[in-house]
Structure 1
Amino acid sequence: MVATSQPAASQAGLEILKQGGNAIDAAVATAAALTVVEPTSNGIGSDAFAIISFQGKSYGLNGSGPAPASISMTELARRGFDKLPKHGWNPVDVPGTPATWAALVERFGKLSLSEDLAPAIRYAKSGFAVPQTLSFFWKRALKNYEKSAQNDTAFATPFSEWKRIFTKNGLTPEPGDVWVNPDQAKTLAEIGATNAESFYRGQLAEKIIAASESADGFLHQSDLADYHPQWVDPLSVNYHGYEVLELPPNGQGIVVSEALSILDNFNFDSRDSFETIHKQIEALKLGFNDLFAHVADPTQMKIKPESLLAPDYISELRNRLTNEAQLPRQENPNNSGTVYLCTADSEGNMVSYIQSNYMGFGSGIVIPDTGIAMNNRGNNFSFDPTSPNFLRGGQRPLNTIIPGFLQKAGEPIGPFGVMGGFMQPQGHLQVLMNCIDFGLDPQGALDAPRFQWTQGNQVEFEREFSTSLLSELRDAGHEISINPEPNTFGRGQIIWRNSNTGTFVGGSDSRTDGAISAW
């Protein structure tokens, strides 16, 4: 089974399963296809994270990249910046996605990387039909980049390659248009043939560095050559008899772990009650407090992630909950674009996988003649020198993208995820509680209305929540608004496995163009 935000990508994963690949091969095939069929949210220049359940054991892979070694606030100031701009070469970090694909296939796959990338290469060569949601975000990205190019002449020149690759006669595709990307097809073939070596230490690396250095970018050959993804042990917390797995920092999965640990002592009878929603919001705010205060590249963190989940500390946080909204530390999280997918095979192997260029297409930089769209993940650094997440060359920033996985008594149940910047941990918590506490199936858990804390006591809600509930929340001090844009609240996928029958049930969020494919 494959669940993702684009039907064409789901079919790519299914094709690989039919060819004898396992869930890991299918995940890589789907992820590669998403760089072609959903370029508005990710690309070959993305970073990635995965939780893998293989033969009953769980593994984590951190495929995020560091900032270039040569970047510093001093050098940015010399260039006239007091923080990183959203677009151009300055916010580009080392892409981790190609190396992540190669690492997954090498350790767990049945097929070669070239075989796994074949469906994506075909989509890039022959084209795919652009769905409505994708067309909307494509248009919005063009407007944002054109505005940046008008205000920043240094961005205008490299942006021309983005326009060549992702527009036709200066226009983005309409729903139903067939879109091809032959440059990306060649690049994917090169990545497959070299097990991603070309991207970091070969011909593709030379093209990337030539483009960076011609634009006075910070990214240099050694940044790519020295990169490798990191295998990590997932964090696990108990929530109402289930084990919830998230990856440790530099990601924000710790928010989910901390919030669920706080809520574990409560019993919730109604999904839409004041008690449930209020406690969810307040527990999440406490988790975000610690995220922004402590989480960064692990080499810069002053405390261990496990200390944030220690029983005494969780009890202290739980005791802070009252019936009133409480102001958290003042942060204003950025929105972002991301793709999440999950896969499962007949042997019980499962993958929870996520990759992102951070803000939509990313930096607006496309490497000439390759179709490689580069990330702008550097924007997630702090520019406060007292923060552990302060911008430093060679360090990884706090990362928003998080895969999740559910177990019970050590037995894998399945992967889940909700993409969308700092909505992600909030989506994880809400869909998990929908399943565990309120008995919803994966599709029902994903389709249920969601809220999103944004900053201070401000919380956005989807319009389906009752006016009486919203009134109670306002009376408690929450600043409530209704946001009619469904994509604001994330887009998720879930696959659960029935341990008795070995069968799967999946869900794909109705807020996007996604689909589940099964065989």
Structure 2
Amino acid sequence: MNRITLLSLFGIMIFSISTIAQDRVTGKTFATRSEVLAQNGMVATSHPLATQVGLDILKNGGNAIDAAIAANATLGLMEPTGCGVGGDIFAIVWDAKTQKLYALNGSGRSPKKLTLDYFKKNGYDKIPALGPLPVSVPGTVDGWFELHKKFGSKEMSEILSPAINYAENGFPLTELIAWYIQKSIPRYMDKGFPNIKDTYISQNNGKLPNEGEIYKNPYLANTYKKIAEGGRDAFYRGDIAKTIGKFIKEQGGFLSEKDLANHHSEWLEPVSVNYRGYDVWELPPNGQGIAALQMLQILEGYDFSNIAFGSAEHLHLFTEAKKLAFEDRAKYYADMDFYDVPVEELLSDKYAKERRDLIGEKATTYNAGQISAGETIYMTVADKEGNMISLIQSNYRGMGSGMVPPKLGFMLQDRGELFSLKEGQANTYEPEKRPFHTIIPAFITKEGKPYVSFGVMGGDFQPQGHTQIVMNLIDFGMNLQEAGDAPRWDHTGGASPMGEETTNKGMIRIESGIPYETIRGLMDRGHQVGFVRGAYGGYQAILWDAENKVYRGASESRKDGQAAGY
């Protein structure tokens, strides 16, 4: 049914219209559709054609890792407003042979010749969002080949073939991506950045494409062909690297051919906390995944069997836990090659209790605890052998820095913006350092066996989204699709790893579907409540139903995506 609520906040009358599927015969209140069920394999991405590419790889004998790389390459073409080979990649892999989780950090490092002193001498108090200065080494291609070397089965030429074909022959733009392209490309052109028109407009009949119109990227097809034929070195040591280094230097930046040649991904041990009998896994910093684990550690101390979903008590406790975790995020999270992040202490039961004891009945502000010491795409794939991969990939700030090397077909990321320029902080800029990263994949196991591979893209919202999904599944008994379709909220404000400090209690921004009683209850507790469009992430998930030997898939109803299996 449609529920229409009249809200009066800050003197503004707002109609909140939310579709709540309370008339579904299954009784799944929030689900927009059923879970997708399949026995042999499952792919969930933010684009139906990319999902089908991954599914075709599985049907033709490829495994989950092969399919994930193929789908990710396709998304780099079809969703350039969120990802591409100019960006970074992270993944968590469940390997059926070894019955173990593996974590890949495929993020790139800052240029060797760019120093903190350069920013000081030129009067910067923060790294700019666009242009050549925030460009760090793009790690995606190396990440693909690391995943493939360890787990892949098909040749990379076959894996990249579908994306190459779509780039050459074209594909129809979806509603959401067409909207983002129409908003993004003019912004970069207004800045006077070179090669934007040639790459994104001239190759498409000289105009920005609309929904349903055919979009091509022959430059990207050529780049993919070189990678398919020459491997990762074709990107990091060949003509592509020379083109990138020369272009960035011409634009006044520092990323060099040598920086690209020196790049390498890193295999890590994922970290976890146990939440009510389920192990929730994330990557350690330089990403923000452990913020979700810190939040869960704090929230496990409350009995949510007696707290209703979407109630003022639920959102209040969640928000205060988020504030506490994010204060620690601002102080401690950074590249662990440069800073000894106290991960074990941050995730300990003792520390969680100390932080939980600070939460009262009213909204408040916090400081980081005393420890002795960031558009994106998310996708997940599972195969008939039981392998599962949770993968996230991004350029940051939608399409990225605005830096498009000539005739390569992609934009370089601007992750370097996420460094702090304040001396002495964990995330302070240094040469050859990985910036603080917002993109995080997640995984849940139960008694040492795979349970859910999932992620929720969306900048600072991601740890909040991960925590909401885990609670929806475990505390509130929702199925996989309903857990993603349920209304969301996020808290904005507070300290950040870029050097900002907490000055107020911030704001809870709520999605339609949260009842007005909750809004009043939050205001009574001293929270500021507001609204925003498009800040609530993009969810994909696959659950392994061990009892029935069936995969269950779910896809984000707020995007154009699809979960599909066979």
State the TM-score, normalizing by the size of structure 1: 0.94
CA distance in structure 2 between the aligned counterparts of 1:429 and 1:171, rounded to whole angstroms: 42
Q: Which residue of 2 aligns with 1:123?
A: 166
2:54 paired with 1:13: yes
Structure-2 residue corresponding to 1:153: none
- C-alpha displacement of 1:78: 4.0
Displacement of 1:497 in angstroms is 0.5
Structure 2 CA distance for aligned equivalents of residues 25 and 302 of structure 1? 34
> What pairs up with 1:82-481 in 2 under 5 angstroms?
82-147=125-190, 149=191, 156=192, 159-168=193-202, 171-269=207-305, 270-328=308-366, 337-455=375-493, 456-481=505-530
- Tell me, in whole angstroms, the C-alpha distance in 2 between the residues paired with 1:106 and 1:499: 28
Per the alignment, do residues 391 and 170 of structure 1 end up closer, same or farther by CA in structure 2, a change over 3 Å counting?
Answer: farther
Deviation of residue 146 (structure 1)?
Answer: 3.5
Contact 2:185 2:196 in 1 (8 A): no
User: What count of residue pairs does the alignment treat as equivalent?
Assistant: 503
User: Residues of 1 paired with 2:399 and 2:367: CA distance?
Assistant: 30
**Deviation for aligned residue 1:266:** 1.8
Assess, with a 3 A threshold, how the Cα gap between structure 1 residues 297 and 277 changes in structure 2: closer, same or farther. same
Match of 1:22 among 59, 63, 79: 63
SS in 1 for 2:304: coil
Contact 2:188 2:196 in 1 (8 A): no
Kept in 2, the 8 Å contact 1:325–1:457? The answer is no
Q: Is the deviation greater in 426-435 or in 161-170?
A: 161-170
Give the 3-state SS of the residue equivalent to 1:24 in structure 2.
helix
Whole-Å Cα distance in 2 between the matches of residues 201 and 145 of structure 1? 28
Alignment match, 1:512: 559
The one-letter amino acid of 2:525's match is A
Cα offset, 1:214, TM superposition:
2.3
CA distance in 1 between counterparts of 2:126 and 2:354 reads: 35
SS at match of 1:421: coil
**C-alpha deviation, 1:312, in angstroms:** 1.5
| 2:107 alignment partner AA | S
> Residue deviations 1:167-188, cap 9 Å, x none?
2476421110110001101101
Q: Is the 8 A contact 1:73 1:83 kept in 2?
A: no
- In the superposition, relative to structure 1, how do residues 314 and 21 fare at CA in structure 2: closer, same or farther (>3 Å)? same
Separation of aligned partners in 2, 1:328 and 1:385: 22
Distance 1:79 1:402, change over 3 A: same
**How far apart, in 1, do the equivalents of 2:341 and 2:250 lie?**
40
Cα RMSD (Å): 1.4
Higher CA-based Rg = 2
Q: Deviations over 1:469-505 (max 9, x none)?
A: 110011111100122x2x2110110100011222111
Structure 1 counterpart of 2:3: none
Query: 350-359 or 165-174: which moved more?
Result: 165-174
- Looking at structure 2, the residues matched to 39 and 502 of structure 1 have their Cα atoms a distance apart, in angstroms, of 36
The answer on 1:491 being equivalent to 2:491 is no
The answer as to whether partners of 2:94 and 2:389 remain within 8 angstroms in 1 is yes
Q: Distance in 2 between matches of 1:25 and 1:472?
A: 49
Note the residue ranges of structure 2 that are not aligned, 5 or more in a row: 1-41, 369-373, 494-504
Structure 1 residues 371, 496: closer, same or farther in 2, change over 3 A? same
Q: Distance in 1 between matches of 2:197 and 2:115?
A: 30
Cα offset for 1:414?
2.2
Between the aligned partners of 1:79 and 1:320, the Cα distance in structure 2 is 42
Asked if the contact 2:491–2:507 (Cα under 8 Å) also holds between the matched residues in 1, the reply is yes
What secondary structure is seen at the aligned counterpart in 2 of 1:504?
A: strand
Alpha carbons of structure 1 residues 171 and 385: separation in structure 2 relative to 1, 3 Å: farther
Task: Tell whether the 8 Å contact from 1:238 to 1:264 is kept in structure 2 after alignment.
Answer: no
Helix, strand or coil for the counterpart of 2:553?
A: strand
Secondary structure (helix, strand or coil) at the match of 2:133 reads coil
Determine whether 1:3 maps to 2:44: yes
* 1:403-458 deviation digits (Å, cap 9, x = unpaired): 00011111101210000100111110111111111111111111110001111331
8 Å CA contact retained: 1:61, 1:231: yes
Name the SS for the 1:366 alignment partner: coil
Question: Percent of aligned pairs with the same residue?
Answer: 41
CA drift of 1:87 comes to 1.3
Indicate the larger mover: 205-214 or 436-445.
205-214
Of 71-80 and 48-57, deviating more is 71-80
For residues 224-258 of structure 1, the C-alpha deviation after alignment (integer angstroms, 9 at most, x for no partner) is 11111000011110001100000000000010010
Question: CA contact under 8 A between 1:93 and 1:377: conserved in structure 2?
Answer: yes
In structure 1, runs of 5+ residues without a counterpart are 150-155, 331-335
The 8 Å contact of residues 337 and 357 in structure 1, kept in 2 or not, is answered as yes
Partner Cα separation in structure 2 for residue 511 and residue 145 of structure 1: 26
Is 2:324–2:367's contact at 8 Å kept on the other side of the alignment? no
Amino acid at match of 1:233: E
Q: Name the structure 2 match of 1:68.
A: 111
**Mapped partners of 1:447, 1:131: distance in 2:** 20
Whichever residue aligns with residue 160 of structure 1, its letter is P
CA deviation after TM superposition for structure 1 residue 79, in Å: 4.4
**Which segment drifts farther, 134-143 or 243-252?**
134-143
1:372, 1:128 → 2: CA distance? Answer: 17
Tell me the distance in 2 between the aligned counterparts of 1:7 and 1:391: 39
Structure 1 residue 365, shift from structure 2 partner: 1.1
Q: Using structure 2 for the length normalisation, give the TM-score.
A: 0.87
**Partner letter of residue 249 of structure 1?**
P
Query: How far apart are the structure 2 equivalents of 1:328 and 1:378?
Result: 27
Contact 1:326 1:457 in 2 (8 A): no
How far apart, CA to CA, are the structure 2 residues paired with 1:221 and 1:164? Answer: 23
State the Cα deviation string for residues 161-208 of structure 1 (Å, max 9, x = none).
122111247642111011000110110111122221111112211111
**Deviation of 1:287 (Å):** 0.9
Residue 49 of structure 1: aligned partner: 90
- Cα distance in 2 for partners of 1:87, 1:451 equals 28
Q: Distance in 1 between matches of 2:491 and 2:251?
A: 38
SS in 1 for 2:102: strand
Amino acid at match of 2:382: A
Structure 1, residues 4-25: CA drift from partner, whole Å, max 9, x if none?
1111111111111111110111
